[in-house]
């Protein structure tokens, strides 16, 4: 009986550890997980209304008047959810545009950048956070970094006057989760694209961690997605640099 109980406990622990190492959104449609390569544009499928969201972003961009954009996956998209109040406080007066889509990898973001998401705008700044879903797909740190760099280069190509604030991929999972280490390595490699003029790199991962390296549920409710407090940490961490880029220093 004791042995059986121990096996059950171990299975539960393994399941919990694995859950935080899964993609930033679960998708039952296998076409969402078409492998592709991180630095080659690939459209996502229409699960969860992704294409409708793409179209809405294109329509918003076509209207112009966006001074700031956020580019990324579900962590960025959820500025409209868990981070909504923080967004209103920090970005509503800046005509900010949220270009995050659940489950996106670097290749999906590349496709969107090539197909209307940033047409018709010339923002002062672009905050880029992408890559954690590539890690979930098993991409190497080097390939993830190549995808991140490709995203930055595409933004530079299409928006030459826009400065990029590239975020290090946020930590995720429990201590010892291999994906966390791979994401950190990808960020270090990708950071080499930063020139301090048009591309700036910030790794704020430590600010999400407890002293022992764990992630509090008050910061990431599932060891991946941010709580309102987590979005507050993100906004406060980048605000000085963002204000500098946008010429809004106090």
- Is 19 labeled as catalytic in the residue annotation? no
Residues 150/183, Cβ–Cβ less than 8 Å: no
Identify whether 29 is a catalytic site residue. Answer: no
Nearest to 14 by CA among 183, 174, 135, 133: 174
pLDDT of residue 11: 42
Among candidate residues 136, 191, 200, 225, the one labeled active-site is 225
Per-residue confidence (pLDDT) for residue 175, from 0 to 100: 81
* Mean per-residue pLDDT pooled into runs of 10, the chain (250 residues): 46 42 45 76 88 96 97 98 98 97 97 98 98 96 99 99 99 91 98 98 97 96 97 99 91
Say which of 119, 137, 181, 222 is annotated catalytic. 222
Q: What is the pLDDT of residue 33?
A: 57
User: How far is residue 247 from each of residues 118, 124, 138, 210, 234, measured CA to CA in Å?
Assistant: 21, 9, 40, 33, 20
Would you call 74 a catalytic residue per the annotation?
Answer: yes
**Catalytic pick among 20, 74, 136, 191:** 74
Q: Which CATH class is domain 42-245?
A: alpha beta
Please provide the DSSP assignment of the chain as one string: -HHHHHHHHHHHHHHHHHHTTS-SS----GGGG----TTS------GGGHHHHHHHHHHHHHT---SEEEEESHHHHGGGTTTHHHHHHHHGGGTEEEEE-TT--HHHHHHHHHTTTTTT---SEEEEE--HHHHHTT--HHHHHHHHHHHHHHHHHH-TT-EEEEEPPPP-SSTT-HHHHHHHHHHHHHGGG--SSSEEEE--GGGGB-TTS-B-TTTBTTSSSBPHHHHHHHHHHHHHHHHHHTT---
Nearest CA-CA partner of 51 in 32, 30, 75: 32
* Whole-structure pTM value: 0.88
């Amino acid at each position: 009986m004791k042995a059986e109980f121990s096996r059950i406990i171990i299975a539960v622990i393994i399941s919990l550890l694995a859950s935080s190492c899964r993609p930033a959104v679960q998708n039952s449609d296998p076409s969402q997980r078409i492998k592709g390569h991180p630095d080659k544009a690939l459209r996502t499928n229409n699960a969860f209304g992704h294409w409708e969201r793409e179209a809405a972003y294109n329509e918003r961009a076509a209207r112009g008047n966006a001074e700031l954009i956020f580019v990324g996956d579900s962590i960025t998209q959820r500025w409209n959810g868990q981070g909504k109040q923080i967004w209103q406080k920090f970005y509503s007066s800046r005509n900010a545009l949220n270009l995050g889509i659940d489950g996106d990898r670097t290749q999906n973001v590349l496709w969107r950048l090539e197909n209307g998401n940033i047409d018709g705008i010339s923002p002062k700044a672009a905050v880029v956070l992408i890559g954690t879903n590539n890690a979930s797909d098993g991409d190497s740190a080097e390939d993830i970094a190549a995808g991140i760099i490709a995203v930055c280069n595409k933004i530079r190509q299409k928006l030459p006057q826009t400065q990029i604030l590239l975020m290090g991929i946020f930590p995720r999972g429990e201590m010892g989760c291999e994906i966390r280490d791979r994401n950190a390595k990808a960020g270090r490699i990708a950071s080499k694209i930063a020139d301090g003029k048009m591309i700036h790199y910030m790794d704020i991962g430590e600010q999400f961690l407890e002293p022992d390296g764990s992630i509090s549920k008050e910061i990431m409710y599932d060891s991946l997605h941010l709580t309102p407090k987590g979005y507050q940490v993100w906004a406060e961490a980048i605000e000085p640099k963002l204000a500098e880029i946008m010429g809004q220093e106090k």
